[in-house]
């Protein structure tokens, strides 16, 4: 089932019926691969945090989220038919400056006042003043539905759009676009992410990679036994893929994959990972939020405070440092937030001997 069909089924009121057994993890053993070998240590963490709803966007289904890296209080929330919501004060109040169905949001980390919105039905829009005013930027973009956006982390004017007809690229900040799908055999592109200088695309034909700025693509599905890849999250060379059958992990920028946890996780449509630490991963599903503190080996539900439509989780975004952070969730009932603790590793690392 494609993400577009998936979204429309959600909007019509259909839901999946998969039960996720809740678990409480007191401590986990982690392994660290270094140039001197593999070491193991123990990390403490807590799942005692509680979700709270923030602001006037409550009650509206939110399908995309983005945080402003230059302003801790500025959050963008995209909805279906209800438009884009923006808060400047962490959810204390919300403005609704853009009447469109928002599927994806990207904030330019080079110049955070520049924001892009990918839409259902209307292509791409751009704001140069923190989301206050918007204008369409669709010249050469031969697609109406834009499911994913990615800005090159090095070249600030290079922008990629994942659409219903493959990948498009802009080299001038969205002013014009050209098709960038050579070698790509899928159709719908649901997720885009950079791993080092490689661009990854999650699609209805698995994962594809481009190492030349989208000029050509090759399939990167070794070990990936699913077709539908809805979400990608990258940290320090480790990639997590949210699929219609749970989560997969690659430790080498998508060269090969292995399942991260149980396939009974069901469809995972959004992921968030700590930028400092590949062990801490959050997954959004139709039954709520799951968290793993061991790089996806095991998962536990983290839904205290979420109920009803708020358990339909469509978007996750994590603002964190080495010790703690805040996880934001776009749900069937607005935007929610939860404080999270990063694992604290203690004791001496001991080599893990492979026999």
CATH of the domain at 200: 2.130.10.10
- Residues 6+ positions from 186 with CB-CB distance below 8 Å: 166, 201, 203, 204, 205, 206, 208
Does a structural domain hold residue 18?
Answer: no
**Helices and strands (H and E) in the chain: how many:** 1, 31
Model confidence band, residue 40 (pLDDT cutoffs 50, 70, 90): very low
What φ, ψ does residue 309 adopt, rounded to 5°? -65, -20
Total tally of structural domains belonging to the chain: 1
Given a cut of 80, whether residue 355 has pLDDT beyond it is no
C-alpha to C-alpha distance for 166 and 49, rounded to whole angstroms: 39
Given a cut of 70, whether residue 351 has pLDDT beyond it is no
Structural domain for 205, as ranges: 3-7+25-351
Which segment of 16-20, 154-158, 207-211 scores lowest on mean pLDDT? 16-20
Does a structural domain hold residue 143?
Answer: yes
Model confidence band, residue 268 (pLDDT cutoffs 50, 70, 90): very high
| Side-chain half-sphere CA neighbours of 108 within 13 A | 23
Global pTM value: 0.85
Does a structural domain hold residue 12?
Answer: no
DSSP 228-283: -EEEEEEETTEEEEEETTEEEEESSTTSS-EE-S-GGG----EEEEETTEEEEEEE
Does a structural domain hold residue 311?
Answer: yes
C-alpha to C-alpha distance for 236 and 83, rounded to whole angstroms: 34
Q: Evaluate whether 244 touches 264 at the Cβ level (below 8 Å).
A: no
Does a structural domain hold residue 104?
Answer: yes
DSSP 129-181: STTSS-EE--TT---S-EEEEEE-SS-TT-EEEEETTEEEEESSTTSS-EE--
CA distances, 355 to each of 29, 35, 329 (Å) = 19, 19, 42
C-alpha to C-alpha distance for 344 and 37, rounded to whole angstroms: 21
- Residues 6+ positions from 256 with CB-CB distance below 8 Å: 222, 223, 250
Does a structural domain hold residue 13?
Answer: no
C-alpha to C-alpha distance for 91 and 336, rounded to whole angstroms: 9
Does a structural domain hold residue 57?
Answer: yes
- Residues 6+ positions from 56 with CB-CB distance below 8 Å: 85, 93, 94
Does a structural domain hold residue 14?
Answer: no
Q: Give pLDDT tens digits for 279-334.
A: 899 999 999 999 999 999 999 999 999 999 999 999 999 997 766 789 999 999 99
Q: Give pLDDT tens digits for 80-107.
A: 989 999 999 999 999 999 999 999 999 9
Given a cut of 60, whether residue 12 has pLDDT beyond it is no
Structure tokens at 8: 């429309």
């Amino acid at each position: 089932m494609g993400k577009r069909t998936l979204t429309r089924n959600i909007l019509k009121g259909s839901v999946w019926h998969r039960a996720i057994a809740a678990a409480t993890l007191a401590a986990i053993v982690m392994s660290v691969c270094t140039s001197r070998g593999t070491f193991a240590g123990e990390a403490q963490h807590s799942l005692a945090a509680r979700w709270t709803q923030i602001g006037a966007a409550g009650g509206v289904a939110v399908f995309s989220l983005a945080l402003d890296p230059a302003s801790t209080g500025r959050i963008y929330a995209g909805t279906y038919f209800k438009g884009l919501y923006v808060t400047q004060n962490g959810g204390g109040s919300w403005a609704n400056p853009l009447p469109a169905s928002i599927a994806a949001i990207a904030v330019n980390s080079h110049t955070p006042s520049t924001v892009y919105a990918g839409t259902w039905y209307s292509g791409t829009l751009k704001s140069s003043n923190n989301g206050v005013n918007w204008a369409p930027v669709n010249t050469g973009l031969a697609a109406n539905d834009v499911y994913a956006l990615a800005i090159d982390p090095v070249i600030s004017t290079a922008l990629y759009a994942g659409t219903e007809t493959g990948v498009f690229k802009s080299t001038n900040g969205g002013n014009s676009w050209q098709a960038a799908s050579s070698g790509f055999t899928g159709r719908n592109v649901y997720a885009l992410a950079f791993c080092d200088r490689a661009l990854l695309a999650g699609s209805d034909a698995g994962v594809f990679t481009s190492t030349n700025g989208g000029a050509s693509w090759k399939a990167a599905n070794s070990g990936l036994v699913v077709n539908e890849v809805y979400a990608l999250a990258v940290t320090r060379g480790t990639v997590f893929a949210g699929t219609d059958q749970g989560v997969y992990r690659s430790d080498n920028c998508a060269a090969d994959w292995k399942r991260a946890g149980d396939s009974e996780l069901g469809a995972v449509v959004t992921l968030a990972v700590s930028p400092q630490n590949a062990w801490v991963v959050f997954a959004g599903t139709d039954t709520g939020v799951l968290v793993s503190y061991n790089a996806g080996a095991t998962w536990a539900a983290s839904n205290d405070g979420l109920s009803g439509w708020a358990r339909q989780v469509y978007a996750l975004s994590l603002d964190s440092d080495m010790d703690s952070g805040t996880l934001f969730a776009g749900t069937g009932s607005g935007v929610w937030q939860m404080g999270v603790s990063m694992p604290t590793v203690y004791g001496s690392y001991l080599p893990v001997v492979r026999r």
